[in-house]
Chain A
Amino acid sequence: QQQVKQSPQSLIVQKGGISIINCAYENTAFDYFPWYQQFPGKGPALLIAIRPDVSEKKEGRFTISFNKSAKQFSLHIMDSQPGDSATYFCAAKQGAQKLVFGQGTRLTINP
Chain B
Amino acid sequence: SAVISQKPSRDICQRGTSLTIQCQVDSQVTMMFWYRQQPGQSLTLIATANQGSEATYESGFVIDKFPISRPNLTFSTLTVSNMSPEDSSIYLCSVEAQGLREKLFFGSGTQLSVL
CB distance from A9 to the nearest CB of B (A): 8
CA distance A102 to B43 in the complex (A): 8
Chain B residues near A70: list those with CB within 8 A.
Answer: none
Indicate if the CB atoms of A104 and B42 lie closer than 8 Å. yes
Q: A61 on the interface (CB 8 Å rule)? A: no
List the one stretch of B65-73, B75-83, B100-108 in contact with chain A.
B100-108
Q: When the two chains form their complex, are residues A99 and B108 in contact, meaning their CB atoms are under 8 A apart?
A: no
- Contact-residue size bin, chain A (C-beta under 8 Å from the other chain): 10 to 19
Decide: B102 and A32 in contact? CB cutoff 8 A: yes
Q: Footprint of A on B, CB under 8 Å? A: 4, 6, 9, 40-45, 48, 58, 92, 94, 101-109
The chain B residue with its CB closest to the CB of A39 is B108
Question: Residue-by-residue, is A1-40 near B (CB-CB < 8 Å gives 1, otherwise 0)?
Answer: 0000000000000000000000000000000101010000
**A42 to B108, Cβ gap below 8 A?**
yes
Nearest 8 interchain pairs by C-beta:
A43-B106, A101-B43, A101-B42, A103-B42, A32-B102, A44-B106, A43-B107, A43-B108
Cα–Cα distance between A98 and B104 once the two chains are bound (Å): 11
Please state if A45 and B106 are interface contacts (CB–CB under 8 Å).
yes
Q: State the CA gap A102–B48 with chains docked (Å).
A: 20
Q: In the complex, which of the residues B42, B102, B106, B107 contacts A34, with contact meaning CB atoms closer than 8 Å?
A: B102
Nearest B residue (CB) for A6: B42
